[in-house]
Homo-oligomer: A and B are copies of this chain.
Amino acid sequence: MDLEVVTVGTELLLGFTLDTNAADIARSLASIGVRVVRLTTVGDDARAIRGAVSDGLHRSGFVIVTGGLGPTRDDITKQAVADIYRAPLELDEDYLSVLEQRFARLGRGPMPESNRTQAQVPRGAIVLPNRRGTAPGLWLHGEPGSTVLLPGIPQEMRSLLEREVMPRLSRLASGASGEATVTLSRTLRTTGVSESGLADQIGHLDRTFDPVSLAYLPGLDGVDLRLSACQMTRTAAESALARAVDQLRPVLGQNLYGEGDVQLAAVVLERLRASAWQLATAESCTGGLIGAKLTAVPGSSDVYVGGVVCYSNESKARDLGVPEELLRDHGAVSEAVVRAMAEGVCRRFGTAVGIAVTGIAGPGGGSDQKPRGTVWIAVQRRSRVESIRRWFPGGREEVRQRSAQAALDLVRRLTD
C-alpha cells in the first residue's frame, strides 16, 4: 500500500525547524508494509494545504497530514481539509467534555476559550483521542480517498500514530495485497571505535549481506550500524537480517553494546544489577550528564544511588575527600585527582562501583599540556580503580557528551 505525507508549517518552509515527523512516519509505516511515496511541505496557508492534500489524494488515495491543528489562529489545517470533503465543522460534545475534564483535573482554572475550537470536528470524521495533548487526530474518508490529520508536536504525533493509525493502516495494508512486502531494519550500536575503524574491521564483509544493505551512522553516542532489507516478505527480510547480524557480531566484539534503541546507561545498569552492585557518580566537567543518563532509565534507583556534581575544587575536597595537595600538585584535571574522586564517591555513598570524570570541556581552560578536550575518567569496581585519559574533538557540548558516554562504556567493559 502506498500513501503520501503532507506536513504543514511556515516554520518548516523557513528552514528553522527540521521536519522529523515525516521521517518518523515513513520509518514506522515501512515496518507494516506501507510505503510513503511522496512528502510535501506547505506553509500555514489554506489554499496551499488544500492543493497539496487534494493532489496527493488524486495520486495515491491516502494522505497523512501533520501540523496546524493547535488552538491558535495560524492553525488552519482542519478547516482546509474539511473543505476538500465539503464537511462542515461541528462541535463534538463528547470530546469537549473530555477536554474540560482534563483541564479541571490539572487544576489550572477554566479551559481557555481557544481550546474549544479543538473540539470542532469535520462532520463524519473519526476522532482519534490524543493522550498527550488537546488536539485530537482525525480520520476522514470520502470520495477522493482517506485523509488522516495528526498534530505536529512530535510526541503527540508519535503517540497517535502508534495507538490509533498504525493498527488501522496495518489491517488496510494486509487486506489490499495477497502477501504484503515490508521493509525491515535492525540497528547495531557500537561505541569506543571510529567510523573508519569500524569500516576497516568490516571490510568487504558487507558484500555478502546482499540483499541486506549496511549504513554507518556516526553520532555522539558512537557509531550505529543500520542493516535494511527492503521490499521483501516479512519472513525473508527477517532471516536475511538475522544472517547479517550473525556475521557482524563476532567482528564487532566488545565495541557492540546493544541493538535497536537501547541506551548504554541501561546496559550498564543491567550489568550492575546482575552482580547486585550499586553505583555512584562524581562528575566535574560533565556536571550531572552521567546522572541524568542513568536516571533517564526507568527503575534505575535500585542500582544508582546518586552522586556529587563537584564543579569546584572545594567540593572535590569536602564532598569526595580528594586531598588538597593532589589538587594543588596535579591540578583538578589529572589522573591522581580522578582516581581519588572515584574512591571518594564509593566511600561516601557506600557503593561497590563509582564513576568519576574531570576534564576541560572548553572553550576556555585549556593549556599546551592539557588542551581543550582532555578528559580523565576513572571507575572504581570493588577496591580496584581503572583510569583512562581521552582527548575528544568538537565543542563544549560534544566533549561533555562523549565524556559521559566513554565513562559509562568503561564501566561496561570492566563488568563484561
Residues of A within 8 A of B (CB): 9-20, 22-28, 30, 35-44, 48, 52, 55, 70-74, 106-108, 112-115, 132, 134, 153, 155, 183, 185, 194-197, 199-200, 206, 213-218, 226, 228, 230, 281, 283, 285-292, 294-296, 298-301, 304-312, 314-315, 318-319, 348-350, 362-364, 391, 393-398, 400
Known: A291-B288, A296-B400, A309-B291. Contact between A14 and B394, CB under 8 A? no
Copy count, this protein chain: 2
Which residues of the partner chain B approach A391 to less than 8 Å between Cβ atoms?
A: 106-107
B228 in contact with A298 (CB, 8 Å): no
A305 in contact with B301 (CB, 8 Å): no
CA gap between A393 and B73 in the complex, in Å:
24
Task: List 27 interface pairs A-B (beta carbons < 8 Å), by A numbering.
Answer: A11-B217, A13-B39, A14-B26, A14-B30, A14-B228, A16-B226, A18-B23, A19-B23, A37-B42, A39-B40, A39-B41, A40-B40, A71-B196, A72-B199, A73-B206, A74-B214, A107-B391, A114-B200, A132-B394, A153-B218, A281-B309, A287-B295, A287-B304, A291-B291, A291-B309, A295-B400, A296-B400
CA gap between A11 and B214 in the complex, in Å:
10
Which residues of the partner chain B approach A283 to less than 8 Å between Cβ atoms?
A: 288, 291
A41 in contact with B38 (CB, 8 Å): yes
CA gap between A23 and B27 in the complex, in Å:
20
B195 in contact with A70 (CB, 8 Å): yes
Nearest B residue (CB) for A204: B73
A305 in contact with B312 (CB, 8 Å): yes
Report whether over half of chain A's contact residues are helix, strand or loop; otherwise say mixed.
mixed
B308 in contact with A309 (CB, 8 Å): yes
A74 in contact with B287 (CB, 8 Å): no
Which residues of the partner chain B approach A108 to less than 8 Å between Cβ atoms?
A: 194
Shortest C-beta distance, A64 to chain B (Å), equals 13
Shortest C-beta distance, A356 to chain B (Å), equals 13
A199 in contact with B155 (CB, 8 Å): no
| Contacting residue for A20 out of B18, B38, B286, CB 8 A | B18
B37 in contact with A13 (CB, 8 Å): yes
B308 in contact with A308 (CB, 8 Å): yes
A396 in contact with B13 (CB, 8 Å): no
Which residues of the partner chain B approach A394 to less than 8 Å between Cβ atoms?
A: 132, 155
